[in-house]
Chain A
Amino acid sequence: MKHKAVLRVSSKLLMPPIMLFALYVQFHGDFGPGGGFQAGVIFASAFILYALLFGVNQARRVAPAGVIRTTLALGVLLYAGTGVVGLLLGGNYLNYSVLAHDQVHGQHLGILIIEFGVGMTVASAMITIFFIFAGRGRDERGE
């Protein structure tokens, strides 16, 4: 990939906007189309683009398996944990109304946190799946 300067430069230019767009889809999800699932996939696509152009090994250095696995678990914990916080504050499980001083605020906050958890887990899962498939057979060939 050393000689493909156009690809290298343009992909490097593209990656930040892709991630930013993912965050927009993530946090604008309660006003427009979007949410954690879509945002997670878009965010992961930035990593996949990087891995396609610079190789899986290089990409694995950027996003080590241990880190990705941690965010994978943390996303689920964030989701389920928010539900438990609602439960501890006196509502039923996953009741966001009790999370803030007034009900509308609480619902906004709750759905934002939960969708962020979804986004984290989906992005990590997509990256992991890509790395596993792309990395298959590499170790045997000694690349």
Chain B
Amino acid sequence: MISAHLPALQVVVPLLAAPVCLLLRNRHAAWLLAALVTWATFIIALGLLAQVADRGTISYAIGDWAPPWGIEYRVDLFGALVLVIVSGIGSLVMPFARINVEREIPAERIYLFYVMYLLCLTGLLGIAITGDAFNLFVFLEISSLSSYVLISLGHDRRALTAALRYLIMGTLGATFYVIGIGLLYMVTGTLNMADLAQRVPDLLHLRTVEAALAFLIVGISLKLALFPLHLWLPNAYAFAPTTVTIFLAATATKVSVYVIIRIIYTVYGGAPIFREGILNEALMGLGMLSMVAAGLVAIYQSNVKRLLAYSSVSQIGYMVLGLSFGSVIGLAAGIVHLFNHAIMKAALFMALGCATQQVRAVSFDDLAGLGRQMPVTMGALVVGALSLIGLPLTVGFVTKWYLIQAALQDGAWLAVIVILASGLFAVVYTWRIVEAAYFRPLPEDREEVREAPLGMLIPLVILAGACVVFGIGATWPMDLALAAAESLIGARP
């Protein structure tokens, strides 16, 4: 009986846990509840993935109101994969959070932190599971509002301005999204995505439908920090508490990429809008600009967290480039990079978090000589950096391989050059971290630094291990991504 209700439970369990956390008012109990609930959502997500792989797309009518009138939760392969990524990263972040949050957030606010985290998780999972375009907006707001609060909890005062800036940009993005949905509703009279997918492709010649697409794409591009709309991201990631940075960097932008793919390939039917308009040129151009510009800026950062944040903007370019080809292999490369980038960026930020837990600051000087003092942490950081560069035997290579294949298939030579060049930028900026950690001498005044606590090291090692395991035997995520891309494109010839 319970397996039939997994789609509802996926969202309801963390939603119910958030107010309970507020009532508990105890930071240890709040952590325990948040961790148990996150692990439960991961199990539910795996269950959903197994169900979808077994029986195909699941539809769940909320309140037994039949779609398209009621709100429908709809899980297909792509959605299930995103659910697994979000809840999986959350599950790994939780043990790390217990120790890290104690240090970075005042004790009396820690239970509030877990309330916000659970709401953010609810929102992100809800976005990936709902089949209703307006319900998606509601979850987008839940996840956004809670992430503004999470970012503002950073102990640096600049976290407040970073959060405010994100709030303004994010609200603009959400407003654009809801305007787009409003325009579509005006023309079609429906909000259900599957129902929209039946109607919208025949109405593409209407100016209203075109305007709706423009609003939707710009709105979501703000949320996913596509160049040149990325300005909120570097400071937000740099000044947020480390746990928040890891969680948001690995999930929030990925979920936004999920939304943009949903809009383009499910609601608008993919191929036709790519053939007629300039959408794919625009996305391809902006994707490549993201890769190059953010990669260049990353090289000149002095704060390591900001460097990694700019690298995230550059990596988002890969995903957008992948989906802009409009081919199965390109889309699959974009989707698999959701997964790959989630684990490698989580590993990198987490390694940095372990380092800052022990030495406090995040400039290159603070990292000097840490390679000898914290071998496990810095080893994981190197694995993450190699993945970012895209060296063979790491997950980054898998993405690049398929992305280049897609570019060659499309005859987009410029894209091939940009992919290779952005790999070179990654070499430069990750080398600066490696150089500081391994080749600089220990500062004279440095006290004895020990390896991070085990609770932080274990999730870090799992993430770094995943970067290699899925890099060598990359069949499982790639097969899933290919199947998901085929079903997204194949649904509408």
Contact = CB atoms under 8 A, between A and B. Distances in A.
B418 interface: no
A74 to B, nearest CB: 7
Given A80-B12, A87-B8, A92-B8, A73 B63 contact: no
Nearest to A81: B16
Residue among A76, A81, A93 with max Cβ neighbours from chain B (10 Å): A93
Interface stretch (A29-37, A43-51, A94-102): A94-102
A91 B9 CA distance: 13
A72 B22 contact: yes
State the majority secondary structure of interface residues on B: helix
A73 B15 contact: no
B64 A97 contact: yes
B311 to A, nearest CB: 37
B61 interface: yes
B160 interface: no
B23 A94 contact: no
B258 interface: no
B187 interface: no
A14 B302 CA distance: 60
A83 interface: yes
A11 interface: no
Interface in A68-124: 69-70, 72-74, 76-77, 80-81, 83-84, 86-87, 91-97
Contacts of A95: 63-64
State the majority secondary structure of interface residues on A: helix
A65 to B, nearest CB: 11
Given A80-B12, A87-B5, A96 B63 contact: yes
Interface in A15-73: 69-70, 72-73
A69 B19 CA distance: 10
Contact of A84 (B16, B18, B60, B61): B16
B64 A77 contact: no
A77 B19 CA distance: 7
Interface in B1-19: 5, 8-9, 12, 15-16, 18-19
Interface of B: 5, 8-9, 12, 15-16, 18-20, 22-23, 60-64
Given A76-B15, A76-B18, A91-B63, 7 more contacts: A72-B19, A73-B22, A74-B19, A74-B23, A80-B12, A87-B5, A92-B61
6 contacts: A73-B22, A74-B23, A76-B18, A86-B63, A92-B60, A92-B64
Interface of A: 69-70, 72-74, 76-77, 80-81, 83-84, 86-87, 91-97
